[in-house]
Structures are given as structure tokens and as C-alpha cells.
């Protein structure tokens, strides 16, 4: 077959998966290294006592690293995805992230990436819902892919810089155009690939955490942003690898 196709099929899903879970990996590792700070923070915020706070950090640590290992080794991917969904929800509540729209949208976008992973693992047949007859062409898988695409778009909205310089207006227009294409599923692979390259550029330029000394708070902040963006890039790469799924313009064109 066509060599680029082979690469897309063989290697891209792995790269995509690694990018997608990088934010969970990084966060899990951070729980390990900042065990005391994280525990004290939760204890102080929620007054839940030492033991519960420690449990929370432990669940975060094991849940994230465990799920990442499962996803990368392709075992129980669905359970791992549900585990990470749970952790996103848990963190959203525990860190009271809910009050910051940007954070909320990013967490939703991470959920979108996980939905795509879930849809991809469903495609491999070893499904938890093995006995359920498929509902023709619009199976839950395709709605997962649609949902995943739309949620990834949210992440993108958080990266849009609302200042009125010419460059950022151009950036926003190009970005918005691509994002709409990805969401409706028109020329999806090309749009998603362009977005990947662009996001990667933006990420390396704006979130260069390695240029900031580790003891400054900004270092952690940029690092967090960097890995979150990497996760969204992973989600987009899954779209490049797998195509948009059934509920999309690309698929509709085939049936016309």
C-alpha cells in the first residue's frame, strides 16, 4: 500500500495516544513529586483531614498513571478511559476549577480526546457491549467521535487570543475556519493536521516552560498548559489517523 497510509495507520495512533495522555502522565508524576504540597492544599481547601487528603492524592496518582499504562499497552482501554473521565471530574471539583471557564473548557477538551480514544478502542471489537446489536451506521461509536471532535474545538477556543493586533486576528480567523471544518467533519484529516502543526508551533512558542527556572510558579503553570495542549494535539492526531467517523460531512459525501 501507500507508505504514508501505512505510517498513518501504524504509528500515528500510538503517537496520538502518547500525546493525548501526556497531561495525565505529567500530572500523575507531579502528584508523586509534590505529594505533600498537593495533600496540604486539598486538606486546607476542603478541611477533610489528613487521611482523606492523602487518599485523594493517591487516587489521582494511581488512577492517572495506571490508566496511562493501560492505554499505552492497549489493555482495558475502555476502563482506563472511564477512569480518566472520573479523574477529570474529581479534579474539576477538588481544585474548584469550575469557576474558571478556560480551565473548564480545557477539561472538557481532554474529555473529548478520551471520547475519541474510547471510540477507537470500540472499533477494535473487544467491546464491553459485545452483545449489543449495532444500530446500523449511527452507532454510539460515531456519536462519540462527533462528541470528541466538538469538545476538542472547545480547547481551541481557550487558545484564541482576543487582542486586536493583525497577527492575532489572522490567527483567529485561520484557526476558526479549521476548527469549524474539524467539528462538522469536512476535509477533516487535512484540517486536523494543519491544526496539529499550528498548535504545536503555538505551544512551543508560548508555553516554553523549559526556559523558566523550576522554582518559579510560572514554570509549573506553563508546563501544565504545555501538556494540556499536547493532549489536544493527541486528540487531533487521532482524528488524522482514524478519520472523522460516520457523523460527518466527509462520510455523507460518500453516500450521496
pLDDT of residue 253: 67
pLDDT along the chain (256 residues), means of 10: 66 86 91 91 87 92 93 90 92 72 80 86 54 52 81 71 68 78 80 85 86 86 86 85 69 61
The angle formed by the CA atoms of residues 100, 102 and 104, to the nearest 5 degrees, is 70
According to DSSP, residue 139 is labeled -
Contact 50, 43 (CB under 8 A): yes
pLDDT of residue 39: 92
pLDDT of residue 187: 81
Per-residue pLDDT tens over the stretch 184-216: 777 888 888 888 888 888 888 888 889 988 888
pLDDT of residue 58: 94
**Residue 73 in grid coordinates:** 499497552
Q: How far apart are CA 148 and CA 143, in angstroms?
A: 8
Q: Closest Cα to residue 203, out of 234, 243, 241, 163?
A: 234
Q: How far apart are CA 54 and CA 25, in angstroms?
A: 19
Amino acid at each position: 500500500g501507500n507508505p504514508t497510509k501505512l505510517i498513518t495507520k501504524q504509528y500515528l495512533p500510538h503517537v496520538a495516544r502518547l500525546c493525548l495522555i501526556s497531561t495525565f502522565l505529567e500530572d500523575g508524576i507531579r502528584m508523586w513529586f509534590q505529594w505533600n504540597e498537593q495533600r496540604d492544599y486539598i486538606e486546607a481547601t476542603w478541611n477533610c483531614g489528613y487521611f482523606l487528603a492523602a487518599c485523594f492524592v493517591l487516587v489521582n496518582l494511581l488512577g492517572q498513571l495506571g490508566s496511562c499504562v493501560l492505554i499505552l499497552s492497549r489493555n482495558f482501554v475502555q476502563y482506563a478511559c472511564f477512569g480518566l473521565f472520573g479523574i477529570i471530574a474529581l479534579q474539576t471539583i477538588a481544585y474548584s476549577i469550575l469557576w474558571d471557564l478556560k480551565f473548564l473548557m480545557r477539561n472538557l477538551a481532554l474529555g473529548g480526546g478520551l471520547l475519541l480514544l474510547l471510540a477507537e478502542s470500540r472499533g477494535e471489537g473487544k467491546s464491553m457491549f459485545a452483545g449489543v446489536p449495532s444500530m446500523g451506521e449511527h452507532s454510539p461509536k460515531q456519536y462519540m467521535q462527533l462528541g470528541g471532535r466538538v469538545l476538542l474545538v472547545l480547547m481551541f477556543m481557550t487558545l484564541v487570543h482576543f487582542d486586536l493586533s493583525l497577527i492575532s486576528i489572522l490567527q483567529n480567523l485561520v484557526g476558526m475556519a479549521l476548527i469549524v471544518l474539524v467539528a462538522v467533519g469536512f476535509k477533516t484529516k487535512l484540517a486536523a493536521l494543519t491544526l496539529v502543526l499550528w498548535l504545536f508551533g503555538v505551544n512551543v512558542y508560548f508555553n516554553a516552560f523549559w526556559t523558566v527556572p523550576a522554582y518559579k510558579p510560572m514554570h509549573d503553570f506553563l508546563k501544565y498548559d504545555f501538556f494540556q495542549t499536547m493532549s489536544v494535539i493527541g486528540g487531533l492526531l487521532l482524528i488524522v489517523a482514524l478519520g472523522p467517523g460516520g457523523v460527518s460531512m466527509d462520510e455523507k459525501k460518500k453516500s450521496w
